[in-house]
Chain A
């Protein structure tokens, strides 16, 4: 039955070009693996977690220190979540730099929706341990929303369930994180995969002779190889990197500096230079750019070719955005001390 399912979502034959590791680096499958790990570990955590201000933190301690496999499961959930963000962005970069979005605007949009859902899931999950860092990160993160024009404030109070991070926020975050986003993501992952098939498989430059390789078993093996590798790497990392545990949330004592979750620190850093530019204009332009890229790009080189010369402008814009965000995040995470002053990280 599994094979039957696989045969449904894959083409029967794929071009050898599409199997070349340098075309995709298996990033899409890696993301999918992370999601699967997240669902499995998430269900386990679901059994023990209670979204209640008084109990949430103790429950996390209980899961991490007392339960058998608790620490590994939580570490794995934490690592897979962060890996998913990084891998999704890399996947996005691959699609942009190979121009694979060409003539696939709909699937590109599904992908962007998935990226936003991944970030939203991560952000809501961040609060659940109800410790100092998560409480204040969500406080900062939700304050960043206020910069969204017109709907910012309403959006913030919708997410927080009030004006401030509190009991309602915890409950809401839990519901979004564990009840609402996963099925939504499942739907969009389904759509995303279906569109790949519908759009003619992987966007890889065709061989002129049209010679193809059987998907069964070669493509399945390649994909399973990526999935097992990701699993192995995350499991091994889970031994060395612990999901952080900080002190209980203390609404009256902010850490100084209070930082947003790392993937939003870039925005926080930009806002520290200019609220209007960093909080509204730049994120707006980036989102607009990403959304409209398949429409803006009029190049004729087929998708699947890295750094095609007629797409160079769009690739460079994308690289500029990505590199600047990485730089901002690095500055914000490691080089900002008390009162957001520049400091050396050691």
Chain B
């Protein structure tokens, strides 16, 4: 038996056919409305030989003979391409120098999409960011800024951390920049130099004191690092045998000893201060010969992170003879100004001149302490962002200084704090200088009587049978891990939320110098002025000592 068919089917069928016909017609009529209006021109399609690769371009569809088109009428040009002899447009094409996406016939896409902007079109002054893709860096007409950028790159010691393939000896501490120009845009490079910690926020790169002009110059140079060069073979590049232009970083017209010239040539002063020259990134080296001994200096140059874990300074490769000259210079020749300095301070310290003693302490503070601890005493000195450990804040930190014994404070100044950038001032300052300095810190910043000390509660006794390793691991995970990290490196999930940052528990020199009781005390009472809380109400006696053992385990472990 056949039933009556549903009534809706036929109208539905015809409507859908009409709709499809309408859509197809629309496609035929309107399919090219998104294309730029190029009038009666044909799409230009040229193939050039670039780097031995055939490269296809549609650029000259709008940029006839390389000219700038009228934005309103793309078929008319308003400004011809400047003469670029001895280059020839028909050999280089457009994208060889200007970048962009030659295969796109779309105003937005062909000029580079937003994002990393690796292919964003270069024009005007930016053109010099392309010259050293092919030419050897040097004084090249038209590429003056890029050439200055090359010089700045070495003057600011960028190569000590970043590798670029054309330089033989370069660092591996930061990202390799050999192809940086091919992967990010000019503006991104510029931003990364000016705001290194914007992205990623945990970047260790210091913010160098560079003018906008200087950083722009460096970005011109870096943008030109886009792959293999033409003035050297890949083998020469790889082995650093390419003929690169050496930059003399020594001051002109000044006679320097070998050791002192090494300070310039090995780019120490790009970051450190020495006398009047200041890189404003790292600690002052003027008195380093009196602050650290020869063994320390050699060991530090050999492997900076072993002595100060997390330090920003990379290992600087140096021939042993050159290293010896440098260290000898720092130890012997350079102590001249130090001696003078201590002598004048000692003069000031005669009992008759008590009045001016605090003045001397102020000068000392500004000379020796403020670089890290800040003129305001809040620990945020000019080089603090580059230090591995936050300098102790004085201002607003009375609770900490109430709990730290005067003996400990004096010892910190005299012997320094191992595993950190705080050096020893034993040779540099005598007791008559240290006391006023401490007094100054107490009166000017801490606002506390130096003898006003808190009475500390008793620590639980060390148990006869320590808690099991499992138990101390559990305690660590529960209480410490989110700041100090699973491996004790001080980089737990929350570490960026705290300033001072959580202590790196694998800092061997630091923890070797601490007694078990000091560590237990810190866990027990916390550290005022930091995020470290007191655990005295949360943990039992044996648990404290379990955690102390866990900390010891981290700082003992080999890294």
Contacts and interface: CB of A to CB of B under 8 A. Distances in A.
Nearest to B25: A235
A221 interface: yes
Contacts of B8: 21
B19 interface: yes
A109 B31 CA distance: 41
Q: How large, as a class, is the contact surface on chain B?
A: 35 or more
B13 A132 contact: no
A3 interface: no
Given A65-B110, A231-B23, A250 B2 contact: no
B16 A65 contact: no
Contacts of B23: 231-232, 235-236
Contact of A61 (B5, B17, B103, B184): B103
B34 interface: yes
B409 interface: no
Contacts of A58: 56, 101-103
Interface in A1-54: 13, 16, 19-21, 54
Nearest to A132: B115
Contact of B31 (A16, A69, A222): A69
B172 to A, nearest CB: 16
Interface stretch (A206-214, A278-286, A315-323): A206-214
A335 to B, nearest CB: 20
B235 interface: no
Given A65-B104, A71-B31, A246-B113, A213 B16 contact: no
A272 interface: no
B156 interface: no
Contact of B2 (A13, A68, A252): A13
B1 A214 contact: no
B12 to A, nearest CB: 4
B119 interface: yes
A303 B151 CA distance: 79
Interface string B102-144: 1111100110010111110000000000000000000000000
A72 interface: yes
B119 A213 contact: no
A229 interface: yes
B27 A235 contact: yes
A169 B545 CA distance: 54
A119 interface: no
Highest count of chain A CB atoms <10 Å: which of B15, B34, B106, B115: B115
Q: How large, as a class, is the contact surface on chain A?
A: 35 or more
B113 A247 contact: yes
A198 B477 CA distance: 62
B3 interface: yes
Contacts of A239: 26, 30
B58 A246 contact: no
A66 B31 contact: no
A69 B34 CA distance: 11
Nearest to A62: B103
Contact of B6 (A218, A228, A252): A218
A248 B118 contact: yes
A230 to B, nearest CB: 9
Interface in A204-259: 209-214, 218, 221-222, 224-229, 231-232, 235-236, 238-239, 245-248, 250, 252-253
Given A214-B2, A252-B183, A61 B31 contact: no
Interface string A66-85: 10110110000000000000
Contacts, number: 129
A305 interface: no
A102 B471 CA distance: 56
B43 interface: yes
A59 interface: yes
Highest count of chain B CB atoms <10 Å: which of A20, A21, A218: A218
Contacts of B85: none
Contact of B105 (A66, A214, A246, A247): A66
A213 B105 contact: no
Interface in B1-41: 1-6, 8-10, 12-13, 15-17, 19-20, 22-24, 26-27, 30-32, 34-35
Interface in A267-322: none
A68 to B, nearest CB: 7
Nearest to A229: B16
Given A221-B9, A221-B10, A250-B118, A72 B27 contact: yes
A72 B24 CA distance: 11
Given A221-B10, A252-B183, A228 B5 contact: no
Contact of B9 (A19, A211, A229, A252): A19
A66 to B, nearest CB: 4
A253 B183 contact: yes
B101 A61 contact: yes
A228 B109 contact: no
Contacts of A69: 27, 31
Contacts of A20: 6
Contacts of B17: 224-225, 228
B32 A68 contact: yes
B53 interface: yes
Given A68-B32, A213-B3, A253-B183, A236 B26 contact: yes
B118 A225 contact: no
Contacts of A66: 43, 58, 103-105
Contact of A247 (B24, B32, B102, B116): B116
A280 B192 CA distance: 40
Contacts of A235: 20, 23-24, 26-27
B237 to A, nearest CB: 19
Contacts of A61: 101, 103-104, 106, 109-110
Contacts of B116: 132, 247, 250, 253
Contacts of A62: 56, 103-104
Contact of A68 (B26, B30, B31, B118): B31
Contact of B35 (A65, A211, A225): A65
Contacts of A71: 31, 34
A84 to B, nearest CB: 18
A59 B27 CA distance: 22
B2 A213 contact: yes
A66 B102 CA distance: 11
A58 B100 CA distance: 11
Contacts of B119: 247-248
B9 A222 contact: yes
B13 A222 contact: yes
A222 B14 CA distance: 10
10 contacts: A13-B2, A16-B3, A20-B6, A58-B102, A64-B104, A211-B3, A213-B5, A247-B115, A248-B118, A248-B119
Given A61-B101, A213-B2, A228-B17, 6 more contacts: A65-B35, A232-B19, A232-B23, A235-B24, A235-B26, A247-B113
Interface of A: 13, 16, 19-21, 54, 58-59, 61-62, 64-66, 68-69, 71-72, 132, 209-214, 218, 221-222, 224-229, 231-232, 235-236, 238-239, 245-248, 250, 252-253
